[in-house]
């Protein structure tokens, strides 16, 4: 129908979203966060990048930022203009340790402080405090279990609710 975007327009928007998301992975270019549809925040290996790419393939421009204990985030993270775009990822310490241990094994390393359960427990505790202080209104999504699609669906529902759209309708149908 005349009201629906053309296929080429839909594809172009998706390609733009993927390119934007690729360029803003891992906290890069905070000055462009204002142009994102959503900003995903979480610990290292909590699932930010896979979620970002999945959402980008659905036409959302996504930035993500890896919070690191005792590292000062860029001032842009606290910009009032982007607070409504922020999504806070949480994860159980045991799951985080497991993911990080797999990652270390990929690099031929068996043990590290980074992937230890003790360290992951400490980081997850720190993260709760960080969110209470800096993002008390950020919706939280737990990435400990459940499929990527389920986690993304929760984020899309939040985005659509903010936009006042019906949660069941796809962004580009």
81's enclosing H/E stretch is none
87's enclosing H/E stretch is strand 86-90
pLDDT of residue 129 exceeding 90: yes
- Residue % of the chain over a pLDDT of 90: 75
Task: Read off the pLDDT band of 164 (50, 70, 90).
Answer: confident
Is 0.85 surpassed by the pTM of this model?
yes
Q: Are 38 and 155 in contact (CB under 8 A)?
A: yes
Q: Are 58 and 149 in contact (CB under 8 A)?
A: no
User: Region 96-114: what's the mean pLDDT?
Assistant: 87
Neighbours of 125 (CB within 10 A): 12
Provide the phi-psi class of 67: left if phi over 0, else alpha when psi is between -120 and 50, else beta. beta
Task: Read off the pLDDT band of 2 (50, 70, 90).
Answer: low
Query: How are beta strands 140-142 and 86-90 bridged, if at all?
Result: parallel
User: Region 30-37: what's the mean pLDDT?
Assistant: 96
């Amino acid at each position: 129908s005349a009201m629906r975007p053309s296929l080429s327009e839909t594809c172009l928007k998706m390609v733009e979203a993927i390119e934007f998301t690729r360029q803003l992975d891992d906290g890069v270019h905070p000055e462009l966060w204002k142009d994102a549809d959503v900003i995903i925040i979480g610990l290292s290996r909590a699932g930010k990048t896979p979620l970002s790419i999945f959402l980008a393939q659905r036409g959302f421009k996504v930035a993500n930022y890896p919070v690191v204990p005792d590292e000062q985030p860029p001032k842009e993270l606290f910009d009032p203009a982007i607070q409504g775009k922020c999504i806070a990822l949480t994860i159980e310490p045991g799951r985080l340790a497991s993911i990080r241990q797999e990652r270390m094994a990929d690099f031929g390393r068996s043990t590290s402080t980074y992937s230890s359960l003790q360290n992951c427990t400490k980081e997850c505790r720190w993260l709760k405090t960080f969110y209470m202080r800096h993002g008390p209104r950020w919706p939280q999504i737990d990435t400990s279990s459940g499929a990527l699609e389920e986690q993304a669906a929760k984020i899309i529902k939040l985005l659509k609710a903010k936009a006042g759209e019906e949660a069941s309708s796809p962004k580009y149908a």
